[in-house]
Structure 1
């Protein structure tokens, strides 16, 4: 229905404006439909692109050495927080190096604060299998702490662990981050009222205090992960007993010199020197050093611009609720802005 409005112009001359709200609503609807259609088509295009593109196989990229050499040294880099999608990608790189007969040895380059317990062990397991077939040397860079140290142990008891002068390593321990926002919830009138089938189904809810039974359960869980960490180090550092490792496992981070003194690392060496030592160990006069890289998936390419935009979250409780998902981590430092009760 049209709406007539009497409006005076600049010189006081009456002007009649006929508003048509129906046409405005129709225009808004058409614009919304167009935007929705574009988003839907982009999503379908991304899905088809991901299905038809092969991002599962890592590509080789020349790093250094002799480009014409037949023998290869693979440089596998763990320079991320240990979690997916990086876990799957490095495992594929490890498997490719294991199967490639031209790869005679591997330099595992670590610059990571650690990450998830399960992912750290998966990577460790694959490196262990690799080291049973080919020599693996470890090069620690800026930080190789907690899960970063854990995966280094996959190189085996005979593998040298090199650190740079400024490397931080160690931080042996387990943490399950947990927010406790009960006081804040009381102030703003929020309380936990979950529907659950058992007293432990709603465990680690940040909106309620942890019970003694919950703490007992989680203590046992993290102790299992902690004991596994200690055993992995003791098995792969022939100069350290289990009790010596336990004494070092305070959660503290060690400098390069401290790590060498305590038997967690062997000597200071930079990457180019470590590659030379590995080549000498392999008895190779020439070698081609390669990296493994991954092409971006269609979706990643499509979202590369928007991914850099700051996240806008209109739900103030989403992060709190997300924090209630238990995540056992071999991780150095706190990744959270709020104070948390952690193990």
Structure 2
């Protein structure tokens, strides 16, 4: 064997140096991996692309929880801090979502557009919070058949809390955090935030009165352009062209920022997933992901199952808090001459727990309040001549014999109070009775954009016909009420009031009286605590006195 064939041994000092270098390199790599996996979040180091770059942020679906917030806010932050990105195109197909997340994205976009151009393009839908977010851009495009608008807010009311002796609190609102009577003004304040963003973003671009576009309507993009809600019609490619022109570049690379953030931070957007699966939301799901005492949404109600989208040929059965009370047992023979009978034999939807003031006033006059159910014969009960009969919104039909008995009861001097609430059901079954006395409840509800209590369908009434029922009453506040057709109205709305189904403005009569029959197109204003607003309680006092006098 020649000397050339002999294996060479590595000197110990060289081997030790090599080992040290390998250990050092391995340590550096391990440190970078640990940093990337654990320490780098939520910051994502910008990927270096050949400049210039136009970044794409895809806002598809709902904005509901922290996965959506993290995805969109981090995408905007990435675009802001990456110097290679010269402009951003925001692709929107969204019905909106939770107010806090929508506002976070909107304000983040405002910061971004102060640094580089942001062009929004609506690809199907920018409703409510989806449009709110678009207002954070420099320029809004929309495909011609897309829908834009639905400006407004949805706020779910707080529960009425019954205190417990085992849990003591320091103040009357400590458990709930809010006054139920003041709740409509919380809705108005949240709504005003949206309107403020609209004014700041569109300003002189709006071509119509702002009051014309804040009613909650959705507009086809062709309409939205004419109204100034968006800037022009166009597609994603048009948005890219505008972004490039705004950034003064002719050659550029397109990068999907949403995809980068989703992969690098391992974020799966809940809202995008639900949207892609064509999932409508329900209140149980929303209440589980949001634990705030009041949930505020800039969200199109079409995508929430809690709302009453009912087949017009069907009678809607309401969920709680309206329920069918269980009447107390009645022993016969019974003297009903000092009793006010409340019908609950036709699934009448009302909550006696919230009628404390009304029922309490009746009882304080020395009368009883007796609720009757299906086990009792309404015709027989009326033959006993109770002082008055009260019928709240019925959900089942009255028989011809029952209607005949009610009519005969009134003809011989009995008093009848019909109370219908359009927020509960259609007026079909109560109108079977009302029309016998020349009365008719309108379907739909009244609203007034100019004079209201907090929100548009809490109408304020200040015009009254002189009557024992209206004595001392200067102002009533009704909550989702309706018009009653009659020859004699007692309470008259302002001429700016609109009936929702006809969409016509005019003077309406939600409270009327024909001889000994009183018809009222709202129940909520009689409930606790709403009866304590304006002169509602005074009207109830007058009503009770009339019934028992």
Q: Does residue 106 of the first structure (1) align with residue 74 of the second (2)?
A: no
User: 2: CA distance between counterparts of 1:117 and 1:88?
Assistant: 15
The aligned counterpart of 2:119 is: 137
Higher relative contact order (CA 8 A, sep 6+): 1
Please report how far the alpha carbon of residue 138 of structure 1 lies from its aligned counterpart in structure 2 after TM superposition: 0.9
**Conserved? CA contact 1:234–1:240, under 8 Å:** no
TM-score (norm 2): 0.41
User: 2: CA distance between counterparts of 1:320 and 1:77?
Assistant: 23
The aligned counterpart of 1:237 is: 202
The aligned counterpart of 2:492 is: none
**Residue 126 to residue 220, structure 1, CA distance change in 2 (3 Å):** same
**Conserved? CA contact 2:206–2:227, under 8 Å:** no
The aligned counterpart of 2:42 is: 56
Please report how far the alpha carbon of residue 127 of structure 1 lies from its aligned counterpart in structure 2 after TM superposition: 0.6
**Conserved? CA contact 1:230–1:246, under 8 Å:** no
User: 1: CA distance between counterparts of 2:245 and 2:120?
Assistant: 15
The aligned counterpart of 1:149 is: 131
Please report how far the alpha carbon of residue 73 of structure 1 lies from its aligned counterpart in structure 2 after TM superposition: 0.6
- 1:258-299 CA distance string (max 9 Å, x none): 111111011110101210222123221210011122128779
The aligned counterpart of 1:165 is: 144
The unaligned stretches of length 5 or more in structure 1 are: 1-47, 63-67, 183-190, 205-210, 301-316
User: 2: CA distance between counterparts of 1:260 and 1:61?
Assistant: 37
The unaligned stretches of length 5 or more in structure 2 are: 1-33, 269-282, 309-422, 424-454, 456-549
**Conserved? CA contact 1:231–1:242, under 8 Å:** no
**Residue 146 to residue 336, structure 1, CA distance change in 2 (3 Å):** closer
| Structure 1 or 2: more helix by fraction | 1
**Conserved? CA contact 2:158–2:176, under 8 Å:** no
- 1:61-80 CA distance string (max 9 Å, x none): 99xxxxx7420011111113
**Conserved? CA contact 1:178–1:324, under 8 Å:** no
User: 2: CA distance between counterparts of 1:91 and 1:320?
Assistant: 21
User: 2: CA distance between counterparts of 1:318 and 1:196?
Assistant: 28
**Conserved? CA contact 1:80–1:86, under 8 Å:** no
Please report how far the alpha carbon of residue 171 of structure 1 lies from its aligned counterpart in structure 2 after TM superposition: 0.6
**Conserved? CA contact 1:116–1:329, under 8 Å:** yes
Please report how far the alpha carbon of residue 203 of structure 1 lies from its aligned counterpart in structure 2 after TM superposition: 4.4
User: 2: CA distance between counterparts of 1:243 and 1:215?
Assistant: 34
Structure 1 runs, 4 residues or longer, greater than 4 Å off:
50-55, 57-62, 191-196, 201-204, 240-243, 296-300, 317-325
**Residue 331 to residue 219, structure 1, CA distance change in 2 (3 Å):** same
- 1:78-116 CA distance string (max 9 Å, x none): 113123211122111111111111111111111111111
Once superposed, what is the RMSD of the aligned Cα atoms? 3.7
The aligned counterpart of 1:248 is: 213
TM-score (norm 1): 0.63
User: 1: CA distance between counterparts of 2:285 and 2:133?
Assistant: 29
- Structure with larger Rg: 2
**Residue 113 to residue 60, structure 1, CA distance change in 2 (3 Å):** farther
Please report how far the alpha carbon of residue 153 of structure 1 lies from its aligned counterpart in structure 2 after TM superposition: 1.4
User: 2: CA distance between counterparts of 1:100 and 1:258?
Assistant: 37
The aligned counterpart of 1:219 is: 184
User: 1: CA distance between counterparts of 2:267 and 2:255?
Assistant: 27
Counterpart mapping for 1:290-309 below 5 A: 290-292=255-257, 293=259, 294-295=262-263
Give 1:79's match in structure 2, choosing from 60, 63, 73: 60
The aligned counterpart of 1:10 is: none
The aligned counterpart of 1:25 is: none
